[in-house]
Amino acid sequence: MTAVPTPLRDIAKVVRSKNAGPFEITLDIIFKSKEDYEAVKRSGVITKELVSELYNVPTQAIVTFGFFDLVNAVKITLPRPRVQGGIGETDMHAAQQHVPLQEIRIPWPVACSS
Amino acid sequence: MPAPTQNEIRILTPSGMLGYGFPIDHFKRGLALEPHAITIDSGSTDSGPQKLGLGEMTCSREAYLKDLEVLLGAQHDARVPLLISSAGGDGSNLHVDAFRDMIAEIAGRRGWRFRLATIHADIDKDHICRELKAGRVEPLGPVPPLDPREVEAATVVVAQMGAEPFIKALDEDRGLDVIVGGRAYDPAPTAAMAIRAGFDPALAWHMGKIMECGALCAEPVGYSIMGYLRRDHFEIEPLNPAERCTTASVAAHTLYEKSHPFLLAGPGGTLDLSNCTYEQVSERRVRVSGSRFDPGPRYTVKLEGARTAGWRSIFIAGARDPIFIGQIDSILDKTIAATRTYFAEVPPETYRIIPHVYGKNGVMGDLEPVKTPAHELCLIVEVAAATQKLATAICGKLRTGLMHAPYPGRIATAGNLASPFTPLEIPLGQACAFNVYHLMTVDSPTALFPIRYEEVA
């Protein structure tokens, strides 16, 4: 087995974003199994600092960030970049703001052919 | 809290949103299980501030009438109480009364008769300002502190009621058939039925929390769901035989649209799900226990309000020329600057010009990680100004400016934009903005929510 940087979209069961009320956006990463969840958690790649960088939000402004063992999921809640549905809105439901998370690369074991 | 006088309370929720429609055969399957109540939510802030700001409803009147007729028919036949929350989407008095009128219309047409309670949730602005002065209003999450001028500017301010007003209505009129609630915490109707019957409030809120979304907790997601609440647990099962609840799907459901996965704050307290146990009791049914409810030091309700925020017009245009697309940012900047110069008599802070460039960063804006634009772009340019006429005039000047804008290397000299529609400038009407999203401490969970009883036939 060797580890290859693998995008989260190929590992997780769910990667999604949505409003949590008009002033917050919440992001969920839900894994297929406890093993996958634990492996991603152990990798140490997903951090508050990474989220801060991807979403241009200071770490101290992050509302919720955590690995939640009971549901094999990472949950991240951020202040919305603009209040929902006002002038300049680009995503009323914040349903398409998850893509930067999908692209996170996790060192992931793949079977060696040799 | 009196001990439950029954072993089980069964709640049927046909859909996560009144007005979206639901499969009749799944609903009928639920009715055959003899529910003690039908609960259905109608509310959401999710589709925008225009409902509160302009008095619009989430769904069309026709859509509500269609769903209501099915629900009222079931109520009429089986005499099961029907509890509706957050009428019309925002749960304003306007929409509670609109629902009341629709119910009366259906009752009249079908020759049905209902004992009806309506619960209003609009909050007097002077009351809010007094409470604000007394230090009893605070921001909810990343929201600025409330300014009394914003309260004044809001078209209407509603408060999210808890279970208590529903319980009060059921206690005061024992023959009640239908309750139409104004703005309510989504699980309130289900929680009210269970708490009133003497069951554990923590389980009642948790079951309500899952059921208010219909069968969104099932795999695959569906519409209709049945909940069975007992002394120390509840069970949940979708009414479509092709769907199933799994321990994973039910546990993960509380992540959806929530700020925190285990701590769910609502009127009068916080539901804590961090020690819950989820068991698969049959292939399609999950049992939940271990929910906790912390009433907190004070009873608070959430205030919601929105104001109008000027008039908008847009234009929509495609771009395909790679020489143009390669310079899109600088061409837009120059055209916007020229438009602003042209409208020099309009104070610049009174209008906004916001280009949405699809194919480049229209969805994610500055957060877009991909920096290379696509081979064709869709431009939607948004103009917000003090009047519709001015917004359209600025929009028109921008569009023609962009159509004919010179740029280095230009060889397509006849025009830069591919316009699909007339009108070329599209008036969008008034824009709105959420401007109240705060918690207010209350002395009584019911005093702000007046109940009116009547018979409709």
B353 touches B382 (CB < 8 A):
yes
* Mean pLDDT score of chain B: 96
Find out whether B90 and B127 touch, Cβ atoms under 8 Å.
no
Determine, for residues A81 and B367 on separate chains, whether the beta-carbon distance falls below 8 Å.
yes
B384 to chain A: closest CA residue: A87
* Whether B381 contacts B314, CB under 8 Å: yes
Contact B181, B119 (CB under 8 A): yes
Residue B396 has pLDDT above 70, yes or no: yes
Residue A113: per-residue pLDDT? 54
Q: Please give the order of strands across the beta sheet that includes A12-19.
A: A12-19, A24-31, A73-79, A64-68
| pLDDT for residue B3 | 66
| Residues of chain A neighbouring B354 (CB-CB closer than 8 A) | 87-88
CA distance B215 to B239: 8
Residue B63 CA to residue B65 CA, distance in Å, equals: 5
Which residue in B has a C-alpha nearest to residue A56's C-alpha? B367
**pLDDT tens-digit readout, A20-51:** 999 999 999 999 999 999 999 999 999 999 99
Report, as an integer, the average pLDDT of B410-433: 97
Cross-chain residue pair B369–A54, CB shorter than 8 Å: yes
Record: contact B367-A87, CB cut-off 8 A = no
**What is the rounded CA–CA span in Å between residue B196 and residue B192?**
6
Q: What are phi and psi of B409, to 5 degrees?
A: 85, 10
pLDDT of B2 reads 58
pLDDT, tens digit, 9 for 90 and up, residues B107-166: 999 999 999 999 999 999 999 999 999 999 999 999 999 999 999 999 999 999 999 999
Question: Which of A85, A90, A100 comes nearest B49 by C-beta?
Answer: A85
Contact A63 B259 (CB under 8 A): yes
Asked if B301 contacts B183 with a C-beta cutoff of 8 angstroms, the reply is no
The answer to whether B312 and B389 are in contact (CB under 8 A) is no
Confidence of residue B1 (pLDDT cuts 50, 70, 90): low
The answer to whether A83 contacts B45, with C-beta atoms less than 8 Å apart, is: no
Q: How far apart are CA B267 and CA B114, in angstroms?
A: 29
Nearest Cα to B93, choosing from B104, B82, B101?
B101
Residue B150 CB burial class (10 angstroms; 0-12, 13-18, ≥19): middle
A114, pLDDT greater than 50: no
The confidence band for A6, taking pLDDT boundaries of 50, 70 and 90, is very high
Size of interface A-B (CB pairs under 8 A): 133
Q: What is the mean pLDDT of residues B375-395?
A: 98
Could you report the per-residue pLDDT of A44-96, keeping only the tens digit for each? Answer: 999 999 999 999 999 999 999 999 998 999 999 999 999 999 999 999 999 99
d(CA B264, CA B257): 11
Q: Which residues contact B336 (CB under 8 A, 6 or more apart)?
A: B353, B355, B398
> What pLDDT is stored for residue A1 in this prediction?
72
Q: Do B354 and A88 touch (CB under 8 A)?
A: yes
- For the sheet with B234-238, list strands across it: B277-282, B285-289, B234-238, B225-229, B9-13, B37-41, B82-85, B178-181, B114-119, B451-456
Query: How high is the ipTM of this complex?
Result: 0.91
Confidence of residue B331 (pLDDT cuts 50, 70, 90): very high
Q: Is B189 strand, coil or helix?
A: helix
Whether B252 sits inside 8 A of A73 (CB atoms) is: yes
Residues of B at the A interface, defined by Cβ within 8 angstroms: 45-50, 140-143, 248, 251-252, 254-262, 274, 276, 309-310, 312, 352, 354, 356, 362-367, 369, 382, 384, 431-434, 437
Contact A86 B352 (CB under 8 A): no
Radius of gyration over every alpha carbon of chain B, rounded to an integer in angstroms: 26
Angle at B132 between CA B161 and CA B432, to 5 degrees: 70
Inter-residue contact B11 to B39 (CB < 8 Å): yes
Chain A residue with Cα closest to B252: A71
Residue B256 has what pLDDT? 87
pLDDT digits (tens, 9 = 90+) for B37-96: 999 999 988 879 999 999 999 999 999 999 999 999 999 999 999 999 999 999 999 999
**Nearest-by-Cβ selection for A24 from B142, B254, B354:** B142
